[in-house]
Chain A
């Protein structure tokens, strides 16, 4: 079965960087785009960007451009999301999510369990 297992919770200082992982199993890693979505406490879902695990190509929401980098390691079927220059507004649960279907366009069917990142001095 498809599984997305994310790395554990982190506490970061303002100005620092974070890098969280999403280890996948149960399907052909390179076939499905992976997205990152975050959710601040008590707030809605915010789409951050995606990676094509086959080519490594990425696209990010304009809000995060320049601060976010999504990468992958095909040898261990894992996707990473790095966010730099953290501030308190980046305190959130971060989710990786895989598309329902092969290709760029599709709904997000499989979700990781989430990684809570707290930014505090």
Chain B
């Protein structure tokens, strides 16, 4: 089973700043099948990025994903107030198994 590790656990930033979130896999993720989700309190997760670097429908272009193999990054170029949330990575390349990372909490400094 592929284990995902996310860092940092918490990221304290101000609106307008750049956020860089890391997701590391215990083994290579096949075909870069790595997704990123945003979750706000009391809400279901929202898909941001799939296939490591493809934005889902309606996702603003300040969100971008990159990486391959075992190291992946989600970048938010300029934080908006609505971007403060928890972010999870998920791999779906180890079919039929899916796994989530533990999450990174992006909070207001």
Binding site for B on A (CB under 8 A): 35, 37, 44-47, 50, 59, 61-62, 95, 97, 100, 104-109, 111-114
Per-position 1/0 for B94-107, Cβ under 8 A of A:
01111111110000
Q: Would you list the 8 A-B pairs with minimal beta carbon distance, nearest first?
A: A107-B50, A107-B35, A111-B44, A59-B96, A45-B100, A47-B98, A44-B103, A109-B47
Q: In the assembled complex, which residues on chain B have CB atoms less than 8 Å from the CB atom of A113?
A: 44
A104 touches B96 (CB 8 A): yes
Evaluate whether A45 and B103 lie within 8 angstroms (CB atoms) in the complex, with A105-B93, A113-B44 already known: yes
Evaluate whether A108 and B47 lie within 8 angstroms (CB atoms) in the complex, with A50-B96, A61-B97, A100-B56 already known: yes
Instruction: Decide if B90 is an interface residue (CB 8 Å cutoff).
Output: yes
Instruction: Decide if B84 is an interface residue (CB 8 Å cutoff).
Output: no
B95 touches A105 (CB 8 A): yes
What is the CA–CA distance of A106 and B96 in the complex, to the nearest angstrom? 11
Q: In the assembled complex, which residues on chain A have CB atoms less than 8 Å from the CB atom of B100?
A: 37, 44-47
